[in-house]
A and B are shown apart, each in its own frame.
Chain A
Amino acid sequence: MITSLRITPARPGNPFVAQVEQISGQKILACYQCGNCSAGCPMSDHMDVLPNQIIRMVQLGMREQLLASKSIWACVSCMTCNSRCPKNVRIAEVIEALREIVLRTNDRRDCLHITELSPETIAALPPIAIISSMRKLTS
């Protein structure tokens, strides 16, 4: 996990920022970087960029770094961050928008390939697991 982050200057009117705001329905600039979202995140051990850093990077329009990050797939939409953000930013919605931007492009970079699992593995999994993972991680 990285603990420091090199940031690039914001470009005003960046179309990526507008796109994330539109898909997520969130006002990205509301975030003042308190870090509450990252403090309670159960998936932070598995993230390369922490939730508060994700929001900062969206503010700065860092599209490529975000869409290539592990974190957007590690987030499991548990809503802990949302319920603790003092600025009412729905971080989970922002991260869903980032996943969607990847999944809506033509190359369909799915994060889960269910056909690679053995029939025994699939049979042992309840439908609730299979359907939810496919809805979250595949195009």
Chain B
Amino acid sequence: MKLSYYPGCTLKSHARNFDDSTVASMARLDVEVKELANWNCCGTVHGLTSDNLIQRMAPVTNLIRAKEESANAFMTSCAMCYNTLKRANQHVRADAEALATINDFLSLETTKYTGDVDVLHLLEVLRDQVGFEKLAAKVKRPLKGLRVACYYGCLLVRPQEVAIDDVENPTVMEKLVEALGATPVRFALKTECCGAYHTVGQPEVVADRTNRIMGNAHSGGADVVVVSCPLCAHNLDHRQQEARRLNSNFHHMPVLYFTQLMAIALGCDKTVLCFDLHHVDPEPTLAGLGLV
């Protein structure tokens, strides 16, 4: 199987571990991931105003890039890129006038977008195209004994029209980690917001979110938290120091991308894990269970 792939900006810098583990683990599942040529930033956030089409330009140019490569769909593993690209796609598919205005504005593009490219999240591809049974059959090193709290945050489940699973109680990531041989734990705050971009101007607000969310994962018995968004990863991992300052009982815990767990279980080379990018090093926890 071949699949077009949109990595996004952060996967090429601070979240290289997400990019590398995505590509390596998909190769183990016989999926050839082909990165789109000349992709650009998705814009990160979906503009919520009804009168400002300029915020749809960045997503639509990426849809045009995919179309130019004759792809009728592409996949991204970043939850934020997924949300922004998919919402823009839904908007222009439903609003012909908006799409015509955007195509006019992008007059230098030789390809016109007509709503003919689907945006998929990697978790959807794994569930609906690869299948968790096939995934389980490819596991070389089952993640036995690893208790995992699956964190969805906002962007995979809200709003409803882009949700990849149940809005209030998604379970797709739990099914994935089970297929890898790990044990998902109960995690009440799995769709609570991590504080997102407030990490720039108000890190203390995010540290409070990190304290609550990671604390909830810890009390559920988790060894690690897995995520699908580099902003969630940054907040839940790199803000743990500040969370400890707020709460002396705060328990440090590694935060990993779900693709890193896949890469470990599927026997990929350790270099794709890039543990040097993490704040809380996952190695001791994983080594303690004989997984790395």
Residues of A within 8 A of B (CB): 22-25, 42-43, 45-46, 74, 76-80, 82-83, 90, 92-93, 96-97, 100, 111-112, 114, 117, 124-133, 135-137
Residue total for B at the interface (Cβ-Cβ under 8 A) = 44
A128 and B158 contacting across the interface, CB-CB below 8 Å: no
Which residues of A lie under 8 Å from residue B199 when comparing CB positions? 125, 129, 133
Which residues of B lie under 8 Å from residue A25 when comparing CB positions? 49-50
B158 and A124 contacting across the interface, CB-CB below 8 Å: no
B197 and A79 contacting across the interface, CB-CB below 8 Å: no
For A126, give the chain B residue with the smallest CB separation: B14
A132 and B238 contacting across the interface, CB-CB below 8 Å: no
Decide if B45 is an interface residue (CB 8 Å cutoff).
yes
For A78, give the chain B residue with the smallest CB separation: B193
A132 and B205 contacting across the interface, CB-CB below 8 Å: no
**Given A77-B45, A77-B196, A131-B43, 13 further pairs, Cβ under 8 A:** A24-B50, A25-B50, A42-B192, A83-B158, A90-B48, A127-B13, A127-B41, A128-B44, A129-B200, A130-B200, A131-B41, A132-B44, A133-B201
Interface string of B66-99 (1 = CB under 8 A from A): 0000000000001010000000000000000000
Q: Which of B192-227 contact A (CB under 8 A)?
A: 192-193, 195-202, 205, 208-209
Which residues of B lie under 8 Å from residue A126 when comparing CB positions? 10, 13-15, 230-231, 234
Which residues of A lie under 8 Å from residue B160 when comparing CB positions? 83
B52, B154, B202, B230: the one within 8 Å of A78 (CB):
B154
Interface string of B103-124 (1 = CB under 8 A from A): 0000000000000000000000
* A126 to B45 CA separation, bound complex (whole angstroms): 14
B159 and A125 contacting across the interface, CB-CB below 8 Å: no
Which residues of B lie under 8 Å from residue A74 when comparing CB positions? 205
Which residues of B lie under 8 Å from residue A78 when comparing CB positions? 154, 158, 193, 196
B51 and A23 contacting across the interface, CB-CB below 8 Å: yes
* A81 to B47 CA separation, bound complex (whole angstroms): 17
- Known A-B contacts A23-B50, A82-B158; A128 and B200 likewise in contact (beta carbons under 8 Å): no
Which residues of A lie under 8 Å from residue B50 when comparing CB positions? 22-25, 93
Decide if B164 is an interface residue (CB 8 Å cutoff).
no
The distance from the CB of A86 to the nearest CB of chain B, in whole angstroms, is 14
* A130 to B168 CA separation, bound complex (whole angstroms): 28
A23, A42, A82, A135: the one within 8 Å of B45 (CB):
A135
